[in-house]
């Protein structure tokens, strides 16, 4: 699958417009894309290393002139994070307003036939502060869960964020089991996602670029 033609919303587009319509205009209308930072480039290599164990990530690090300590970060992450059943899964699902597009870092199937699975998300960063509550409220993970429900007609069994700390190499796992959310809680979460999608769709299609 390639990115859809025509108008669509992804997590990155939603997040950018929701927090700064002006920056959205600069990036997606005028095409002024910021230069990727070192952390962003390292994160791309780290993601690929976790999703495809045949990927020559050591060469990619050398080509990018990363430090030798960065090798140990990815080495440790590969040891502690099992490769998912499916990686880099693109989705394009229809919402009430427009097409939603994105990529799940990984899915671990509990029962693939019944579409019971876990969504994995990898975060490579420095001394970021993550905890179960923050993961539970994370816009990206909830957007991905919403897309999962549109595609498979059920909520994911778990949302899991793996935080790989580039500064010290530690790996922390933050699972959010669906069993911890009642039906009314899922409805509330998805209603919140729909409100944000509607806000962004309405603002973008009507060319509102001020907060």
Whole-model pTM? 0.94
pLDDT in tens, 164-175: 999 889 999 999
Going by DSSP bridges, is the β-strand pair 116-125/99-111 parallel, antiparallel, or unpaired?
A: antiparallel
- What b-and-e string marks burial along 128-157, b requiring 16 or more CB atoms within 10 Å of the CB? eebeeeebbebebbbbbbbbbbebeeebbb
pLDDT of residue 1: 60
Q: Give the relative orientation of helices 38-51 and 68-80 as an angle to the nearest 10 degrees.
A: 40
Beta-carbon contacts of residue 67 (< 8 Å; ≥ 6 apart): none
pLDDT of residue 108: 96
Structure token pair of residue 58: 């050591």
pLDDT level of residue 148 (50, 70, 90 thresholds): very high
**DSSP label of 35:** P
d(CA 77, CA 83): 10
pLDDT of residue 132: 84
pLDDT in tens, 71-123: 999 999 999 999 999 999 999 999 999 999 999 999 999 999 999 999 999 99
C-alpha angle 209-192-97 in degrees, rounded to nearest 5: 60
């Amino acid at each position: 699958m390639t990115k859809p033609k025509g108008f669509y919303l992804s997590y990155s587009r939603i997040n950018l417009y929701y927090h700064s319509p002006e920056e959205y205009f600069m990036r997606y209308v005028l095409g002024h894309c910021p230069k990727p930072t070192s952390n962003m480039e390292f994160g791309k290599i780290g993601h690929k290393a976790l999703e495809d164990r045949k990927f020559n990530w050591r060469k990619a690090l050398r080509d990018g002139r990363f430090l030798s300590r960065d090798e140990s970060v990815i080495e440790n992450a590969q040891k502690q994070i099992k490769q998912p059943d499916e990686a880099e899964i693109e989705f394009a699902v229809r919402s009430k307003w427009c097409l939603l597009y994105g990529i799940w870092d990984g899915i671990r199937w509990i029962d693939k036939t019944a579409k019971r699975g876990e969504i994995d998300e990898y975060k490579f960063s420095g001394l970021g502060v993550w905890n179960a509550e923050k993961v539970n409220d994370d816009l990206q993970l909830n957007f991905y869960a919403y897309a999962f429900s549109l595609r498979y007609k059920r909520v994911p069994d778990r949302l899991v964020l793996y935080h790989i700390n580039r500064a010290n190499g530690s790996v922390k796992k933050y699972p959010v089991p669906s069993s911890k959310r009642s039906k009314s809680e899922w409805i509330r979460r998805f209603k919140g996602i729909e409100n944000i999608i509607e806000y962004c769709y309405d603002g973008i299609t009507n060319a509102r670029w001020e907060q």
